Structure 1
Amino acid sequence: MPESARRVFAFERLELAVRYTELLATEGVVRGLIGPREAPRLWDRHVLNSAVLAEAIPDGVSVCDIGTGAGLPGLVVAIARPDLTMTLVEPLLRRTTFLDEVVAELGLDHVTVVRGRAEDLHGQRTFDVVTSRAVAPLERLLGWSMPLVAPTGAMVAMKGQSVRDEIASAEAFLTRWRCGVPDVLEVGTGVVDPPTTVVRVPWADPSQIGWPLALESKRRRQRRDQRAVK
């Protein structure tokens, strides 16, 4: 465990972070959730890189981590931040089974695991913050994430150095969906090198959010598919 972990995890949460990392390095590798070559660099490349995302999340809010995989970043953030109500969304059974086992072993009663895709929750639930890590290009990620964002909430996604190019490519989508101006942040300075790049996207006007467009788009696809069958 690197010494910098003590800057991210409170003393009483550090043991949980250590145990989770051990499970990733053992069960995670055996079950194909983490590559064998990743095991020696789990702390710096994955755990701490995910944990610093907590800097961009307000206190006491509800968070949904889509495409969480083995729990990155959502489960790590939940370990660091017991004040959050965390929902982990993942479609693959072997991953959700692992997540359920980790949540039970670590006693993370503020974490819920949902097997499914982000789209399955569209129109059913919203969250103050929707997170993700290396899931998809920004435009596609917005389509999955923003329907889950509450009117006063935001998408807070981990991204690479090309995020500004992705923002430029997604400009039309941002306008059509009435999203606010994306804010690019760097978190984890002094903890991870390089710092983690994060993009935060709120709604432009909480009273006129654009997520119903997703439902209408889904209905159009369904009608088109039905006509194709006929």
Structure 2
Amino acid sequence: MSYPQWPGQLQNGLAMMNLSFSDHQQHQLLAFLALLNKWNKAYNLTAVRDPQTMVSRQLLDSLSVLPWVTTDYLLDVGAGGGLPGIPLAIVFPDKHFTLLDSNGKKTRFLNQCVLELGLKNVEVIHGRAEDCQPAQRFTQISSRAFTALENLVAWCEDLLAPEGEFLAMKGLYPEDEVAALPAGWKVESSHSLNVPGADGERHLLIVARAEQHR
């Protein structure tokens, strides 16, 4: 189910973020949001249930990291309801996105999104990060509301290329998580994200191996 206010909210939000996408891409983004809203009732994919805030907290929030997505092959770990992986795949049709989640209900939903939206650049994997054995390691791995940074690097270290980086989406700047990063890892940069219509702070932390370990 979609809502009449969504197209205007999306257009206004994209304009405030200085982003511009084709009518087809905007239609795909809204179609994905409608699928997420529909399946959420049975599959508990996201805690966001107010239709008035869905465009901001799900679509615009996911797209806020777009300037830092530089790889052609990105892994979205703990992909859940497909955020940020599906919106990024829609606006980056020439990049390939692998969505990994251990929850079977969530990967069934993701596969349905790929089918209904005709996303040729998305692969869905049902499994745990520790058990995943990709053909090649990824230069970027994104995570959103997945786990603490300490767990992220521990569970996904073998999936990240030597020169790779994690794109960790957080709310408030996670001082405790940064302090708990194990030796050999560092926060290369932190970026405050501007998400129109969203309450509270949002941050992107780029985490990579310390130089001597890369």
Secondary structure of the residue aligned to 1:98 is helix
Q: What is the deviation of 1:48?
A: 1.1
- What is the number of equivalent residue pairs in this alignment? 202
Structure 2 equivalent of residue 109 of structure 1: 120
Separation in structure 2 between the aligned mates of residue 88 and residue 99 of structure 1, nearest angstrom: 8
Q: 1:79 corresponds to which letter in structure 2?
A: I
- Going from structure 1 to structure 2, the CA distance change for 1:166 and 1:34 (only over 3 Å counts) comes to closer
Q: What is the deviation of 1:83?
A: 2.7
Q: What TM-score does the superposition give when structure 1 sets the normalisation length?
A: 0.78
Q: What is the deviation of 1:162?
A: 3.4
- Going from structure 1 to structure 2, the CA distance change for 1:133 and 1:36 (only over 3 Å counts) comes to closer
Higher mean displacement: 45-54 or 62-71? 45-54
Q: Does 1:5 align with 2:14?
A: yes
Gaps of 5+ in 2: 1-5
Q: Does 1:31 align with 2:43?
A: yes
Q: What is the deviation of 1:9?
A: 5.4
- Going from structure 1 to structure 2, the CA distance change for 1:123 and 1:51 (only over 3 Å counts) comes to closer
Q: Is the 8 A contact 2:186 2:209 kept in 1?
A: yes
Offset from partner CA, 1:53-103 (integer Å, 9 cap, x none): 222211x52110111111011112111222321000011111111111111
Q: 2:13 corresponds to which letter in structure 1?
A: S
Q: Is the 8 A contact 2:99 2:123 kept in 1?
A: yes
Q: By percentage of residues, which structure has more helix? A: 1
Secondary structure of the residue aligned to 2:44 is coil
Q: Does 1:188 align with 2:194?
A: yes
Q: Is the 8 A contact 1:127 1:149 kept in 2?
A: yes
Structure 2 equivalent of residue 226 of structure 1: none
Gaps of 5+ in 1: 210-230
Separation in structure 2 between the aligned mates of residue 194 and residue 61 of structure 1, nearest angstrom: 31
Q: What TM-score does the superposition give when structure 2 sets the normalisation length?
A: 0.83
Q: Is the 8 A contact 1:8 1:48 kept in 2?
A: no
Q: What is the deviation of 1:194?
A: 5.1
Structure 1 equivalent of residue 3 of structure 2: none
Offset from partner CA, 1:174-229 (integer Å, 9 cap, x none): x2xx22443111233667565630110122338x44xxxxxxxxxxxxxxxxxxxx
Offset from partner CA, 1:89-128 (integer Å, 9 cap, x none): 0111111111111111111111000000111125864101
Q: Is the 8 A contact 1:54 1:81 kept in 2?
A: no
